[in-house]
Structure 1
Amino acid sequence: MRFEEFQEFRQRQLSAAPLLLDAAETNVYRALAPLRPAPPADLSTVHRCDLARAWLRRFELPEEWSRRAMVCRGVRHGLGVLFPWLRAVQARLWLPSDVYPVYFELARAAGLAPASYPTLPAPLLPAPLLPGSPADDRPEYLLLANPSKPLGRYLSEAECDAVISWLRESPHRHLLIDSVYDLGTPFAVGTRRLLDTGRAVLLHSVTKGWLWPRTFGVVLLGPAQTELADLAEAFRADPPTPAQLGLADRLLTEHSDLPRQVGDELAARAERLFERLPDEVLGAIPTASRTSPGTYFFPVDIPAPTLQREYGLLALPAGVFGESRWSGSILTSLANGFGT
């Protein structure tokens, strides 16, 4: 069932059964609308280089990396610039099959034919990515989300070890890390370990922490990509608007504490969800997902029809997030019933 189809199904089910517990809301902007800052009334001139340095300072990254920090309008826009470049250099691309269908839409629109790997119920690197797999001279990129939705947690130490081992086997291997769901400062330990390899491109934005999608983001290129003038020029040729830059400056300065507030609200909503779950359902959520900060996705190893039929819970089938062979489902904590 595609996402749009599920949304129609959800509305029908909630209308027909008002006592059904809605654990399938996914719109964080609607759920947390009172926290979202208003755009500034005045438009002051803001330079991209200043915003790049402000972003680096916030996440405790070296300011000398500013020439590697490409300002964009968010992760989706950043991938929309990166994927055509990957096609031009004939790179292989691996995408998570069950995280975000837009990854595949953007890749195919750029002329790529991406391969995939599942993340549910745990990230499973495909055989060609496992340490010891053969490598050639063709560029190869693996996209990881950290933290990952709908898995609802960060990569484990062992999972990071496996990725680093794969990188070390060929100088032509690189990572794309989507860190948009990371609300902390600095970035998660696993993300920093992968950055330290010098083989990762990091993508981040104000989408989740500040609740402003498609406004401002940064693509932090790795050392190898920084030397490619055509890639950097592609970002410079398609910048955010002056209004978007002004809003980003206001978010990073006057609303610097908002990601923590968002995280606190999400934690409170998660607890309210857990309080209403039967013990057997709560126990089916992996501990790492249940305790991960700032998440509102909770995978449970019970099919969605079973949750609805036996427990009165409306959940999302895993297939809503993309191709998945896992029979489990996803609970969320965003519905009005879990708010304050």
Structure 2
Amino acid sequence: MRFDEFQEFRQRQLSASSSLLDAAETNVYRALAPLRPEPPADTRTVYRCDLARAWLRRYELPEEWSRRAMVCRGVRHGLEVVFHRLRAEQARLWLPADVYPVYFELARAAGLAPASYPTLPAPVLPSSPADGRPEYLLLANPSKPLGRYLSDAECAAVVSWLGESPHRRVLIDSVYDLGAPFAAGTRRLLDTGRAILLHSVTKGWLWPRTFGVVLLGPEQSELAEAFRADPPTPAQLRLADRLLTEHGDAPRQVAAELAARADRLFDRLPDEVLGAIPTASRTSPGNYFFPVDIPAETLQREYGVLALPVGVFGESNWSGSILTSLAGTFGPTPAPESAPR
């Protein structure tokens, strides 16, 4: 079932049963709208180099990497630029099959024919031998809908995969990482010198398709030129500057609200359902996707819980489903109105 088909199905089910627990909302911007910072009103000039350095400082990365920190309009834009370069290199691309269908749309639009690997119920890296071509593996850390960061063993497996060929690189989508610095696994992969990191203000500041940074490897001058030729607008740069300098605490606030919503979801779930969510997903900071090893049909029929079928995220042979904590029922309780005097 595609995402748009599921949304229609979800609305029909919720309209038909007021007792159904809605654990299938996915729009974080609507759910957390009060936390989104306002855009600036001024029209001053903001320079990309200053934003790159500010971003590096925030995430405790070496400031001398500023020439490798490419300012862009978000992860989607960053992937568009990277994928077109991969097409020119005739590179092989591996995408997670069950994370984000847009990965495949962007890759195919760039003329690539991506291969895939599963992440549910746990990531299984490609095992095909290197063939001498440039080869790139895209992963998300943390990953959704897996709902957690890569484990130490999984990071070690990625490092081993990179070590099998000097032509291999890893692309890290870190958009769901609300912490600073980035997760230890992400930093470990950056230390290999064979990683491209993609990040944006999409989740932490709730501003999609606005501003991001693609941190390139040391020897990718062609990609750097492609990013420099396709910058964000001046208004987007001003917004990014305000988010990084005046609203640096926004990701922490978002993570705290998501943690509170997750607790409210867990309080409403039957014990059997809660117990079927992996501990790593339940305890991952800022997470709002929770895989559960129970089919969506069973959750609705036997427990009165509306979940996302895993097929919404892409192709998967896993029989489980995904719960989210974004529906209004898990939001803050409105303060009572004062009695009239």
**2:98 and 2:79 mapped to 1: Cα distance?**
17
Equivalent residue of 1:299, what SS?
strand
C-alpha contact 1:56 1:62 (8 A) present in aligned 2: yes
- Equivalent runs, 1:49-198 vs 2, <5 Å: 49-128=49-128, 134-198=129-193
Of 197, 212, 218, the residue aligned with 2:213 is 218
State how far apart, in whole Å, the 2-side matches of 1:313 and 1:171 are. Answer: 48
- How far the C-alpha of 1:288 sits from its partner, in A, is 0.5
SS in 2 for 1:67: helix
> Any idea what the Cα deviations from partners look like across 1:50-73, whole Å, max 9, x if unmatched?
000000000000000000000000
Cα distance in 2, alignment partners of residues 224 and 331 from structure 1 = 41
Consecutive aligned runs of 4 or more in structure 1 exceeding 4 Å deviation:
none
RMSD, aligned α-carbons: 0.6
1:259-314 per-position Cα deviation (integer Å, ceiling 9, x unaligned): 00000000000000000101110000000001000000000000001000000000
Mapping 1:143-292, distance limit 5 Å: 143-225=138-220, 228=221, 230-292=222-284
Q: In the alignment, is the contact (CA less than 8 A) between 1:22 and 1:313 conserved in 2?
A: yes
Cα pair 1:199 1:224 within 8 Å, conserved: no
Quote the Cα distance in structure 2 between the aligned partners of 1:41 and 1:92.
45
- State the SS of the aligned residue for 1:223: coil
The DSSP-based 3-state class of the residue aligned with 1:11 is: helix
One-letter amino acid matched to 2:179: G
2: CA distance between counterparts of 1:283 and 1:258? 31
Percent identity between the aligned chains?
Answer: 86
Cα distance between partner residues in 2 of 1:166 and 1:310:
42
Q: What CA distance in whole angstroms lies between the structure 2 residues aligned with 1:169 and 1:213?
A: 36
Paired residue type of 1:319 = G
- Hey, what does 1:131 align to over in structure 2? none
Report the Cα distance in structure 1 between the residues aligned to 2:144 and 2:271, rounded to whole angstroms: 23
Alpha-carbon distance in structure 2 between the residues aligned to 1:111 and 1:190: 31
SS of residue matched to 2:199: strand
Q: Find the aligned partners of 1:197 and 1:268 in 2 and give their Cα distance.
A: 36
For residues 192 and 9 of structure 2, the distance between their equivalents in structure 1, rounded to whole angstroms, comes to: 45
Q: Which residue of 1 aligns with 2:336?
A: none
One-letter code of the match for 1:3? F
Consecutive unaligned residues in structure 2, runs of 5 or more: 333-341
1:338 partnered with 2:322: no
One-letter code aligned to 1:338: F
Shift of 1:166: 1.1
Is 2:296 aligned against 1:301? no
- Relative to the length of structure 2, the TM-score reads 0.97
C-alpha separation in 1, matches of 2:303 and 2:187: 40
Within the candidate set 303, 307, 315, 1:323 is matched to 315
Unaligned runs of 5+ in 1: 129-133
**How many residues align structurally?**
332
Matched, 1:10 2:10: yes
User: Which residue does 2:339 correspond to in 1?
Assistant: none
